[in-house]
Amino acid sequence: MKTTKLCILALAVSASFGAMAKSAHETVSDKVIAEQRQELAENTEGEGFGPQSPRDIDSAAGNNTLTFNAAPKYTEMNLCNIHFHKNAEHKGGEFTKYAGNGDGHGYQSGFKYSGQLTAAELAPVKGEICPSKHGDVQPGDTIEVHYVHTTAQVEPGETLGACFNDANKNPQLRVETQVYVVVNDTTALDFEELNEHEKKDGVHQAINIPNNTGKPIQYAGSTTGPGYNEEGSPFQVTWSVRPKIAKVNIATVGEWCEGNDFDEDHAHGVRNLVINKDLLSEIEK
């Protein structure tokens, strides 16, 4: 029987940052990923876990019958956190190219933009952008940004712990998701502007989430991050994943990492794509 984690903040931080990798460029075999998926299946079987994330948004299939009410529209909730993952955690739409198994701890894995970029867009830049011991962000990289919202009365802040407070330990959660491709192009979108937020109609809002990247795919899922590769997430999250990418200027990504209200300075790792239908909800279309 798996021990239940009691501390929401510790769980959220662990899920977001995952385990430490040996090398930014280390890769593991398909066998390792298969073993992690098997562990996930064994650790969740019969335990009552709800549907998990991330998933293939182009596939509506799912056998998990645990239901919960969909969270309100994000415009009726408080923005509590913004962070991003290197490579897309979700698969589908315009991000279907597999990036590889990575190091087995969520780094250098996930999915990439399936389209083409110009030589100018891929031109190297000076210095490191959002560096970490797992590597930095470079032109041509795909990133998945999570605009996390909560029904709790909170201020935007660090980690998913900012989505809870002493008055509400069980709020409804929604993640508005946008996948971006980082390019060396000053005419591309400004990452700092995309992540601007202010209080609007009584709630904190990210005011510049793109609205021209396709109708979001909404589904019932969970929190993500490589900390859940082998165990289930107990959190219930309503997801809205936009299927089309947007291009963002790499210089502005670096500027955002140098200082923001969420204390984010690097890309997070990704959780293995969940393919076990017993851990997926059915997407209603």
- pLDDT tens digit sequence for 57-109: 999 999 999 999 999 999 999 999 999 999 999 999 999 999 999 999 999 99
Q: Is 221 left (phi over 0), alpha (psi -120 to 50) or beta?
A: beta
**Residue range 110-122: average pLDDT?**
98
Q: Is the pLDDT of residue 5 over 50?
A: no
Provide the percentage of residues in the chain whose pLDDT is more than 90: 90
Provide the pLDDT for residue 18: 36
pLDDT value for 82: 98
Q: Which tens digit of pLDDT belongs to each residue from 13-60?
A: 334 433 333 344 679 999 999 999 999 999 999 999 999 999 999 999
* pLDDT value, residue 26: 78
Q: How far is CA 80 from CA 120, 147, 190, 239, 241, in A?
A: 36, 8, 21, 15, 18
pLDDT of residue 8: 37
Instruction: At 37, list the tokens.
Output: 């998926």
Confidence of residue 212 (pLDDT cuts 50, 70, 90): very high
Question: Coil, helix or strand for 165?
Answer: strand
Mean of the per-residue pLDDT values for the chain? 92
pLDDT of residue 10 exceeding 80 = no
For residue 241, the cross-strand partners are 177, 217
Q: Which two tokens stand for residue 14?
A: 């662990």
User: What is the reported pLDDT for 167?
Assistant: 96
pLDDT of residue 285: 76
Looking at residue 12, what is its pLDDT? 41
Please state, in angstroms and rounded to a whole number, the distance separating the CA atoms of residues 212 and 199. 23
Residue 11's pLDDT band (cuts 50, 70, 90): very low
Name every residue whose Cβ is closer than 8 Å to that of residue 65 and which is 6 or more positions away in sequence.
none
Of 279 and 9, more confident: 279
Give, in order, the Cα–Cα distances in Å from 258 to each of 56, 251, 252, 255, 261.
Answer: 32, 11, 10, 5, 11
What is the DSSP annotation of 51-96?
--S--BTT----------PPPPPGGGSEEEEEEEEEBBSSBBTTB-
